[in-house]
Amino acid sequence: MRVLSAMSGGVDSSVATARLIAAGHQVTGVHLALSRTPLAQRVGSRGCCSLADVHDARRVADKLDIDFYVWDFSDRFADDVIGDFLAEYAAGRTPNPCLRCNERIKFAALLEKGIALGYDAVATGHYARLLEGFDGLELWRSRDPGKDQSYVLGVLDQYQLQHSLFPLGDSLKSEVREEAAGLGLAVASKPDSTDICFIPDGNTAGFLAEKLGDAPGEIVDEQGHHLGEHQGTFRYTIGQRKGLNLGIPAVDGRPRYVTGLDPESRQVVVGPAEDLAVDELRGIRPTWTGEVRDQPWRGKVQVRAHGEPRDAWIGMDQGEIVMRLDEGYRGVAPGQYAICYDGDKVIGSSVISSAVRTRAKAA
């Protein structure tokens, strides 16, 4: 099989590439140039697209004796990922750029180009498993629960899964590092990437302020009482506690959290922790890894990459996925992705459009 291996310059994609070669595939390494942000070029970046990462990926490719290319997807990345990121925050939602990148770049733009050039599949170093099922390939959680990345792959459809390979799905992270060391790869002890690649200094609020500009408004409680001021609703997300700088303390002395955002009126609404609890989610832009499930079914819902999944009734209503949780979540923000599971198998995904509480508060 001719395989295009996406090499980020980290240990995971490097070992994934080595395994593909050992399995007898004809492998070509490719590094995606996604961001032209100057800070991303610094050696100390903890993102996945720095100049140092390009050099690391090339050295691994040389060590493995395979062809290696750098493909520039920065224009499409700017439109589909960074542009979406800015638009979502400006609208008072909280996006996940890593899922958006998987959805639009790694398993769309890259796969499209790879297929056009005669490759059979795209491989990455994600920790997830692909298993044969009755109706095609199924996406399952990885063997290593601490590294499982099925959540960020939940946006893939059956066609994309049919042309994807995840060689690390049955491995523990410790095993991958040991294997890299045994192969003599210099990235064996390289730290995992932690930052948003186009915000390598980790200052998301500063990045948004630079791109969107100040939009001053007021911070209010749920009764509309003025508590403070802010420089833009995009600086906040549902569930946030730090950085509110409220001039008027709560009467009961308890901490307050962001419970609502209204970019049109430029208001940030705050309230007590119990106001963050929700038990019903609605999701738009549904994507199914296989057959559509349009009848109510029991499953699990996960709303963060390393969040605890919740048992739920899941169904469809006017093209949206409705998820009624047995046990509620706290601090769910519109714009986040909800991934639906049947046990450890990914069934589908959607972008959360609303999160509400249908059950009464505890007394």
The whole-number pLDDT of residue 363 equals 44
Model confidence at 41: pLDDT above 70: no
8 Å CB contact between 200 and 45: yes
pLDDT tens for 46-58 read 445 677 889 999 9
The whole-number pLDDT of residue 246 equals 85
Per the annotation, the verdict on 48 as an active-site residue is no
In this structure, the strands spanning 26-33 and 128-133 are unpaired
**Catalytic, out of 48, 49, 101, 340:** 101
Task: Give, as one character, the DSSP assignment of residue 67.
Answer: -
Least confident of 88-97, 171-180, 189-198, 264-273: 189-198
The whole-number pLDDT of residue 45 equals 46
For residue 336, give every residue at least 6 positions away whose Cβ sits within 8 Å of its Cβ, in sequence order, or none.
Answer: 94, 95, 96, 303, 304, 351, 352
The whole-number pLDDT of residue 39 equals 44
**Catalytic, out of 49, 98, 197, 340:** 197
The whole-number pLDDT of residue 42 equals 45
What's the whole-number average pLDDT of the chain? 92
Terminal alpha carbon distance of the chain: 61
Model confidence at 93: pLDDT above 60: yes
Q: Which of 214, 205, 201 is closest to 35 using CA atoms?
A: 201
The whole-number pLDDT of residue 245 equals 81
Task: Give all strands (DSSP E) within the chain, no chain letters.
Answer: 2-6, 26-33, 68-72, 121-123, 128-133, 136-141, 164-165, 217-221, 226-230, 257-262, 267-271, 277-288, 297-302, 310-317, 320-330, 337-342, 345-356
Q: How confident is the model at residue 86 (pLDDT cuts 50, 70, 90)?
A: very high
Query: Residues of the chain with pLDDT > 90: what percent?
Result: 82
Q: Which fold has domain 275-356?
A: Elongation Factor Tu (Ef-tu); domain 3 (2.40.30)
The whole-number pLDDT of residue 43 equals 45
More confident residue, 38 or 74: 74
pLDDT tens for 226-272 read 999 999 999 999 999 988 888 777 777 789 999 999 999 999 999 99
The second-level CATH assignment, the architecture, of 214-271 is: Roll (2.30)
Q: Which of 197, 189, 200, 196 is closest to 11 using CA atoms?
A: 189
Average pLDDT over residues 269-288: 95
> Hey, which CATH number is domain 2-182, 3.20.20.80, 3.40.50.620, 3.40.50.1970, 3.30.420.40?
3.40.50.620
pLDDT tens for 121-158 read 999 999 999 999 988 899 999 999 999 999 999 999 99
Segments making up each domain of the chain, as ranges: 2-182, 214-271, 275-356
